[in-house]
Amino acid sequence: MRFISVLFALALASAAHAGGVDRLKAFIAGAKTAEADFTQTVADKNGRVTQEASGKMAFARPGKFRWDYTTPYVQVIVGDGSKLWLFDADLDQVTVKPLGDVIAGTPAALLAGDNAIEKYFSLKDAGERDGLEWLDATPRNRDTTFERIRMGFKGDMLVQMELFDQFGQHTTLRLSHIVRNPAIAPSRFRFTPPKGADVIGE
């Protein structure tokens, strides 16, 4: 499904010249909320672009996040701390699942989860490329969609993520207009299914 490629991320505070792992740990320690615009590109195992999308995202640690896709389709993904809500406007359908079962081993667990990050991921610095400082995160639990997640930092900001899944797909997320620790209304992380929508899983 389209939504499974995302559930992720944002701004990171770090010491100057720190590697990717240090930057991520500084983020976990210091960024309780964040907002950003995003663009998402998905390429198949042959490098052919199969999907392009964009929208806005936000999170509040631990466990609350929201992704609003606006182009080329309308889709909303909300993690309210206990459940994950997935709304596809074209289908007028809502899918709801227990949050913990869904985000383990995903970028959401890296960035909107709790502080026990190395319990769930093996982290290592991945050097510099394209003017960014990179980090590789490999899920310790192999029963997950993602084989590897790569994060690219510029200065004290996370500006790009690359997700590699078990099907050979490569998803690139680029973040812009990032705001760290904004005040976000709790209602933004609650979801009420639209009247008349089909609700699956509850």
CA distance 67 to 188: 10
Closest by CA to 38, choosing from 1, 12, 72, 9, is 9
Question: Looking at residue 202, what is its pLDDT?
Answer: 67
Q: Give the whole-number percent of the chain exceeding pLDDT 90.
A: 47
Residue 17: predicted pLDDT: 47
What's the confidence (pLDDT) of residue 29?
Answer: 73
pLDDT for position 2:
47
The parts of the chain modelled with pLDDT lower than 70 are 1-18, 101-102, 104-105, 109, 111-116, 143, 202
Token couple for 135 = 């980090």
User: Is the CB of residue 60 less than 8 Å from the CB of residue 184?
Assistant: yes
Closest CA to 26 of 16, 40, 12: 12
The total domain count for the chain is: 1
Looking only at the bridges linking them, the beta strands covering 93-98 and 64-71 are: unpaired
| Model pLDDT, residue 101 | 63
Strand, helix or coil at 102?
helix
C-alpha closest to that of 107 among 26, 9, 2, 27: 9
Domain containing residue 116: 2-200
- Residue 4 token pair: 């499974």
Query: What is the pTM (predicted TM-score) of this model?
Result: 0.81
C-alpha–C-alpha distance, residues 158 and 180, integer Å: 11
CATH number of the domain that residue 69 is part of: 2.50.20.10
How far is it, in rounded angstroms, from Cα 40 to Cα 175? 9
